[in-house]
Amino acid sequence: MAKINFGGTEENVVTREEFPLAKAQEVLKDETIAVIGYGVQGPGQALNLKDNGFNVIVGQRKDSKTWDKAVADGWEPGKTLFPIEEALDKGTIIQYLLSDAGQIAVWPTVEKYLKPGKALYFSHGFGVTYKERTGIIPPKDVDVILVAPKGSGTSLRRMFLEGRGLNSSYAIFQDATGKAFDRVVALGIGVGSGYLFETTFQKEVYSDLTGERGTLMGAIQGIFAAQYEVLRSNGHSPSEAFNETVEELTQSLMPLVAENGMDWMYANCSTTAQRGALDWWKKFRDASMPVFKELYSEVAKGNEAQRSIDANSQSDYRVKLEEELKELRESEMWNAGAAVRQLRPENQKK
């Protein structure tokens, strides 16, 4: 295992060089990987594993949209696509990729099929970390492991098809067989990870919930909305407000950050932009710090987990979710964004 210096702190990292695909295939050559759930992470991970030469089956509810999606993706009923219980019975590694609420609901069924020596695999530490709230307590005689790609299943699949990799964290909650490390790393390589960095189930879920509610999704939408509204209230047009708030960031500046860091992006902007950014970033840090501290505290206390469980377990959850997404989609800012995207050169009719 390599030790990489991240900003002055050495961390354990597994790279493709030290754990190549051929080694991963050898480790898992006698395993049947049963992917349970074909929603967000399931398709990307299952298809990447399949394309990488592993023995993969999918378990899904029959007569569901996700069953139909699996069939459309090339999984064959009775050969590589099965009802959930049949897939659980066949699998030696159970990739439990249902939503957090779905995992709670299906856990009594899954638990029945966790025979000694099997592995229970997660891509989120939620169910195990908040076991008092979820009831997900794995038996002691199975490996309990985690690979959490740092992005959506869609991104994982797209990057795989482009010959790239999405970095992932890995964790071992329970090593019942003595093979948990090799199993988890092999699976991480198999699903298409660029590299794997070490974490724990608890740290993964705490950082993940904070990130989703923070800079990755919640905070960024809040910042977008605030700046857009200030520009609009001061007489700027919707197109100008959107371009200066969202479009320039996503299309021009963030690719530079991804390429070589924030200082590189600053260095490739005008001196006026550099001066303003350097003068103002700490003010934004100081203004948002109390909100992030409150957020992390709510995550650590389990309150955010409980909110998710309560909301996502409701029978009308998807109806209410669509209403909230519709509010975003139909806001002036994102309506302006739809028009701006249509005007990108690559979207113009030739």
Q: Tell me whether residue 236 is one of the annotated catalytic residues.
A: no
Say if residue 128's pLDDT is above 70: yes
Could you tell me the two tokens for 292? 């992030």
Asked if residue 12 lies in contact with residue 1, where contact means CB atoms within 8 angstroms, the answer is yes
DSSP assignments along 201-220, one per residue:
HHHHHHHHHHHHHTTTTHHH
The pLDDT value recorded for residue 63 is 85
Give pLDDT tens digits for 77-87.
999 999 999 99
C-alpha dist (Å) from residue 286 to 1, 100, 213: 38, 33, 18
Q: Which of 15-19, 205-209, 243-247, 274-278 has the lowest mean pLDDT?
A: 15-19
Using the 3D structure, point to which of 130, 164, 199 is the last residue of a domain.
Answer: 199
My answer on whether 131 and 219 are in the same domain is: no
Q: Note the pLDDT of residue 336.
A: 96
Q: What is the CATH number of the domain that holds 52?
A: 3.40.50.720
Going by pLDDT thresholds of 50, 70 and 90, the confidence category of residue 313 is: confident
- pLDDT score, position 350: 59
Residue 89 marked ligand-binding: no
Q: What is the pLDDT of residue 258?
A: 92
Give the chain's domain count: 2
152 and 223 housed in the same domain: no
204 domain residue, yes or no? no
**Claim to verify: residue 140 and residue 186 sit in the same structural domain:** yes
Catalytic, out of 19, 95, 101, 124: 124
What local confidence, expressed as pLDDT, does residue 113 receive?
Answer: 97
Please give the residue range of the domain that contains residue 288: 211-347
284: pLDDT strictly greater than 90: yes
Q: Check whether 248 is labelled as a binding-site residue.
A: yes
DSSP state of 178: S
The whole-number average pLDDT for the span 305-332 is 93
Domain for residue 117, yes or no? yes
**212 annotated as belonging to a binding site for a ligand:** yes
User: Would you say 244 is a known binding-site residue?
Assistant: yes
Tell me: the pLDDT tens digits for 22-67? 999 999 999 999 999 998 899 999 999 999 999 999 999 998 899 9
At residue 152 the predicted structure's pLDDT band, cuts being 50, 70 and 90, is confident
Average pLDDT, rounded, for the chain = 95
Three-class DSSP category at 64:
coil
Instruction: Say if 206 falls within a structural domain.
Output: no
pLDDT at 249 over 90: yes
Helices (H) and strands (E) in the chain, counts: 19, 10
Q: Does residue 298 have a known ligand-binding role?
A: no
Report pTM.
0.89
Q: What is the pLDDT of residues 209-231, one digit of tens each?
A: 999 999 999 999 999 999 999 99
C-alpha span between 148 and 206 (Å, rounded): 13
The answer to whether residue 120 sits within a structural domain is: yes
Q: Is there a single domain that holds both residue 220 and residue 343?
A: yes
**Final residue of a domain: which of 165, 199, 233?**
199
Q: Say which amino acid occupies 237.
A: S
Q: Which of 162, 179, 199 is the last residue of a domain?
A: 199
Report how far residue 122's alpha carbon sits from residue 193's, in angstroms, rounded to the nearest whole number.
15
Query: What CA dihedral angle connects 329, 208, 179 and 78, to 10 degrees?
Result: -20
Closest CA to 90 of 56, 122, 61, 64: 56
Examine residue 22 and state whether it is found in any structural domain, yes or no: yes
3-class secondary structure, 194: coil
pLDDT band at residue 139 under the 50/70/90 scheme? very high
Which DSSP string corresponds to 116-170?
A: TT-EEEESSSHHHHTHHHH-----TTSEEEEEEESS-HHHHHHHHHTT----EEE
